[in-house]
Structure formats: structure tokens, C-alpha cells
Amino acid sequence: MDHADARADLAAAFRLTARENMHEGVANHFSLAVNEDGTEFLINPKKHFSRIRASDLWVIDANDPDSATGEDAPDPTAWGLHASLHRHVPHARCAMHVHSTYATVLACLADSRLPPIDQSSAIFYNRQVVDEEYGGLALEEEGTRCARLFQDPSVRTMIMGNHGVLFIGETVAETFTRMYYFERAARTYILALQTQRPLRELSPEIAEKTAQQQEGDAQAEADLLNGMRAVLDAEEPDYAA
């Protein structure tokens, strides 16, 4: 099996996303670059996240639409969004797009910014972009438009207004960690709003300090993914097959 380690990493992310109920069955998509310039990447076929195995993942070429066609091919929006990212955003080695519950609720608000109200939400302070121009399904033109919002390498989280959320990173662990904590932080924020009481928002200085303290910690990212993956190794080891 080519790219066996990369496949196993990404397959673990699919299974864990299903366990955390951050998926929509067969609808959402993750990708991971497997060549130097990032134009060849792994991506999921239309298969339920909880059943994806390493060997199920397709390798497609961002410059060749025909590579994404055939029986059980990835969804057309997977091609439109991820091929555009891997063509236009070199630091997007990995990309994860979900319609997770609380992030999508946030994307439906008139102000979709996630404010720094706790330690987890501070991770995203000055490091998120809100897409205010939703234009329909993420086919190629829409995917290219979204990719252009990621030109600042410090911004790796996109709240896709009226749609969902998109994360990029250089590794599966980095990207999964960002997705995991964003959904948790969005849940805290939405629940806090429901109390209808004033929010205790961090000052810009402390929010930025906290973001910097948590940024770029590859070991912490690996620890989160590996700790959760150990459960898969014990209960669902077929993910790596």
C-alpha cells in the first residue's frame, strides 16, 4: 500500500471525527498531500467516516480532474475545495472540512467570529477568517475563492459563513487538533450565549499571549492524536488496513 503511514494517520482522523460526532456521514472530506509540491493528495471516497480504512483513500492530482472520477469517486465538492487548496496554498499540506454542530451554528450567526472567552477559544485569536461570501456548493470556482482566503500563513481556520468550517495545517495531527479544539470552543461559546449573561472576554493582550503559548506545539498535537488513536488501536484496528 503506497503512503501507508500517511493513509493510517488520515484514516484515524476520520474514525475519531465520527466518534466525536463531528461528521455528516459521507458528506465531508479530509485531504493530505503526499508529494513535495502538494498537488497529489489523499482524499476520502463517499464512504461513512466511521468505516474508512487506510486502503480506501484515493490519491488524486490537483491538476488532473480525471483523477477524481470513477466508481465510488470522491464527492465533486471534495475535488472543488481540496484541489484548489492544494494548488494555491502551499502550507495546506492537510485540510479538513466538516459541518460539525457547534461550528456550523457559529457559521450561521451574523457575527461568526469566535471570540476569546476561554483558553481553547484563545487558540484562534487573530488566526481565523470568516468567509462572508458563500456562493453555493464548493465546486471548483467556489473552492478557488475559498482557497484565496488562506493566503496569510498565520490563518489556518475558516468559518465558512452559512456552510461549516475548514481547517488547514502541515500535518494530520496539527489539523485534527485545530478542528477538535475549535468545535469544543464553539460549543462553549454557543452555550455561554444561551445563558444571556455578559461574556467574560479576554483582553487582546492576554488572548494573543495565550494563542502564542499554544501555537506550533507539535508534540502536544501529536499527543492528542496519538492518545485518541490508542483507543482505535484497541477497539477498531482495521482503520489502518
Specify the DSSP element, H or E, that contains 220: helix 218-235
Contact 168, 32 (CB under 8 A): no
Cell of 231: 483507543
* Threshold 0.85, pTM exceeds: yes
Query: What tens digit of pLDDT does each residue of 200-218 get?
Result: 999 999 999 999 999 999 9
Closest alpha carbon to 146 in 101, 62, 83, 76: 83
Q: At the top level of CATH, which class does the domain 4-240 belong to? A: alpha beta
Integer Cα distance of 141 and 146 in angstroms? 9
Q: Is the separation of the CB atoms in 195 and 202 below 8 Å?
A: no
> Per-residue pLDDT for 138 more than 80?
no
Helix (H, G, I), strand (E, B) or coil at 43: strand
Q: What is the pLDDT of residues 95-114, one digit of tens each?
A: 999 999 999 999 999 999 99
C-alpha cell at 142: 467556489
